[in-house]
C-alpha cells in the first residue's frame, strides 16, 4: 500500500538487504526473520509499541515518543 510501516527480506547477501532497506524507506525493516522481531520479539532492541509514523504506525520511545527507525537482522548476519 505504500504506507512505509514494515518491510522484510530473506537473503544472505548484505548488498541486496541494503538496497531493499533503502528502497523501502520504512519504519521497521526485518532481514531474515519474522516481522515480530522488528518490534523486539526475539530480535534486536527493546519491545515497543508501533504508533509514531506518518500513518499512525511505527516505533516509539517511552521517553520522547520520537520515531527511530529499526532494522532487525536475524540469523545468518548475526555478529557475536
- Under DSSP, is residue 64 helix (H, G, I), strand (E, B) or coil? coil
Asked if pLDDT for residue 66 goes beyond 70, the answer is: no
Classify residue 80: in a domain, yes or no: no
Three cell numbers, residue 1: 500500500
What percentage of the chain exceeds 70 in pLDDT? Answer: 45
- Of the chain, the end-to-end C-alpha distance in Å amounts to 36
User: What is the tally of structural domains in the chain?
Assistant: 1
30 or 57, which is more confident? Answer: 30
User: What is the Cα–Cα distance from 25 to 19, expressed in whole angstroms?
Assistant: 10
Residues 6+ apart with CB under 8 A from 60: 48, 49, 50, 51, 52, 66, 67
Classify residue 1: in a domain, yes or no: no
Classify residue 41: in a domain, yes or no: yes
Contact present, 7 and 33 (Cβ < 8 Å): no
Domain of 23? Answer: 6-73
Mean pLDDT of 2-7: 76
Classify residue 14: in a domain, yes or no: yes
Classify residue 51: in a domain, yes or no: yes
What is the per-residue pLDDT across 6-39, written as a single tens digit (0 to 9) for each? 888 898 888 898 899 889 888 778 888 887 776 6
Classify residue 66: in a domain, yes or no: yes
Amino acid at each position: 500500500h505504500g504506507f512505509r510501516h514494515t518491510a522484510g527480506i530473506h537473503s544472505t547477501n548484505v548488498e541486496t538487504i541494503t538496497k531493499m532497506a533503502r528502497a523501502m524507506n520504512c519504519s521497521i525493516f526485518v532481514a531474515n526473520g519474522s516481522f515480530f522481531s522488528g518490534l523486539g520479539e526475539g530480535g534486536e532492541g527493546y519491545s515497543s509499541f508501533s504508533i509514531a509514523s506518518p500513518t499512525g504506525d511505527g516505533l516509539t520511545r517511552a521517553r520522547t515518543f520520537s520515531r527511530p527507525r529499526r532494522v532487525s537482522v536475524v540469523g545468518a548476519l548475526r555478529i557475536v
